[in-house]
Amino acid sequence: MSRCCTKAWVTGKVQGVWYRGSTQEQALKLGITGYAKNLPDGRVEVLMCGSQEDVKTLSEWLWQGSEKAHVTHVEFEVLEQAHAPDTFSTY
């Protein structure tokens, strides 16, 4: 099974609504490693490393997010070479 890494930038009401924590829960369920971190401009950056199918599943979930989140845009970048972390963290 090939592993891939994708970075996403999530825009909308995604800070202060448990978006990172719920993203971490979903990632761990799927066996995805990476991170979710708040950016100074109000977006959340997410690194997802795992099987293509699992990364696709989490990528689609990012549009939903936590119950109180309101996602307006998600931008993705597939990373050709990336160091895959051992776990999924929040910052």
pLDDT digits (tens, 9 = 90+) for 4-33: 999 999 999 999 999 999 999 999 999 999
Q: Cα 31 to the chain's mean position, in Å?
A: 13
Residue 82 sits at φ, ψ, to 5 deg, of -145, 145
Are the C-beta atoms of residues 32 and 52 closer than 8 Å to each other? no
Q: Residues with catalytic annotation?
A: 20, 38
Higher pLDDT residue, 2 or 51? 51
Confidence of residue 41 (pLDDT cuts 50, 70, 90): very high
Residue 1 pLDDT greater than 60, yes or no: no
pLDDT of residue 85: 78
Task: Read off the pLDDT of each residue in 50-73 and give the average, rounded to a whole number.
Answer: 96
Structure tokens at 59: 């990528």
* Alpha helices, DSSP H, located in the chain: 19-30, 52-61
Residue 2 pLDDT greater than 80, yes or no: no
